[in-house]
Amino acid sequence: MENRPPGKYTQLEMILAEEKAFAKFAAMRLANDDAISIPRIYFDMVAGDFPAAAVLDEILFWTLPNKKTGRTALRVRKDGILWLAVARAEWWERKRLTERQADRGIERLIELGLVEKSLHRYNGHAQMHLRVCGRQFFSLYGEALQKGYLEGLEDENPVRELADLYAMMGMSDSPNGDTDSPNGDTDSPNGETINIPQTSPNQPPESSLTPEEHFYLEKFVNAFGKFNDTHEADAILALFKAYGKTKMLEIFDWAFKKEIHLTNRSSLVDSIQTAAERWSGRKETKHDKRNTRRASTKPTPEVSEDDIQHALANLQRQSAGV
């Protein structure tokens, strides 16, 4: 191809030049591969939600054992459990997710029971920690596998391996089996037994809780970690009933920012209750002041029907005199 200034090539010459350029680009990509690769089945497990699938893939990347060492890459252990500590700002570098996209993906995974989150101190400050809930993950993985990946497959190894996974987790042979449920009586809403406290003779079974009460307990667990005992759970439910959802979520946000659960966990529920009582007291005081000002205002005299008729008659007489 003769040397010509840019823009002077024929269309065919430009296409041939592009083919050579793409061949060179392919070699560059092989030398520096930084692709974001997510298994298709993860998308199927979360109904095509890209942020949720990307977050799930990232947590599993660190959770699954290394092929060479056979060890997980997770190193943060809290309460005997391994977690992945991730700052919101890190999700762009990890998966090209904005903070809002990552938040939405995490919440979706929590709704599905696939992921649990908890706040712990990390490198001197509070940071969100995440972990995959194994029972629910294998349940949804098995459902997705059987729906779209086993049809026409002659090799029975995937089926046997899936059954082995279920057996290891104490689950039934089928994702929809009757002997296990991600939301069974022995599991928390996240498919694990480490969040909501176990029931006692003085506490109704968890299955008797309303969806709204489950929501309240989940909000506490997601913000502050697991309950210390059933009394804390009862106290939180009582506070929501007394002060309402909106105000209690505001108080949760206040307590979270104060990091009370990190500095003095034993007094967390007491601090939340005190804050609710003080807020209620301030509200009642302002309300009482408004009522006092209204009461001190000179009331407008009531006007009877006779007064109105008398005034109209006077106006008519005055008009007739004019």
| Stretch 262-278: mean pLDDT | 87
Q: How many CB atoms lie within 10 A of CB 222?
A: 20
Which residues on neighbouring strands pair with residue 81, listed in sequence order? Answer: 78
- State the DSSP string of 194-232: SSSPPP-TTS--GGGS-HHHHHHHHHHHHHH-S-SSHHH
- Looking at the chain, the whole-number percentage of residues with pLDDT higher than 90 is 27
What are the structural domain ranges in the chain? 40-132, 135-193, 196-294
One-letter amino acid of 15: I
pLDDT of 95 higher than 80? yes
pTM: 0.51
Given the candidates 1.10.3470, 1.10.287, 1.10.10, 2.60.40, the CATH classification of the domain at 40-132 is 1.10.10
- State the DSSP string of 14-71: HHHHHHHHHHHHHHHHHHS-------HHHHHHTTT-HHHHHHHHHHHHHHSPPTTT--
Q: What is the pLDDT of residues 141-198, one digit of tens each?
A: 988 988 877 765 555 677 777 777 777 766 665 544 444 433 333 333 333 333 333 3
Q: How many CB atoms lie within 10 A of CB 203?
A: 15
Banded model confidence at residue 312, pLDDT cuts 50, 70, 90? low
Q: What is the pLDDT of residues 31-48, one digit of tens each?
A: 776 778 899 999 999 999
Which residues on neighbouring strands pair with residue 125, listed in sequence order? Answer: 122
Q: What is the pLDDT of residues 4-41, one digit of tens each?
A: 566 567 888 888 888 888 888 888 877 776 778 899 99
Residue 126: φ, ψ to 5°: -70, 135
Look at residue 64 in the predicted model and tell me its pLDDT: 92
Alpha carbon of 153 to those of 16, 110, 157, 159, 240: distances in Å? 42, 32, 10, 10, 52
Look at residue 120 in the predicted model and tell me its pLDDT: 83
Alpha carbon of 14 to those of 3, 5, 20: distances in Å? 13, 12, 10
Look at residue 151 in the predicted model and tell me its pLDDT: 64
Assess contact for 293 and 260: CB atoms under 8 A.
no
Assess contact for 239 and 248: CB atoms under 8 A.
yes
Average pLDDT, the chain: 75
Alpha carbon of 81 to those of 86, 118, 129, 137, 214: distances in Å? 16, 11, 11, 17, 23
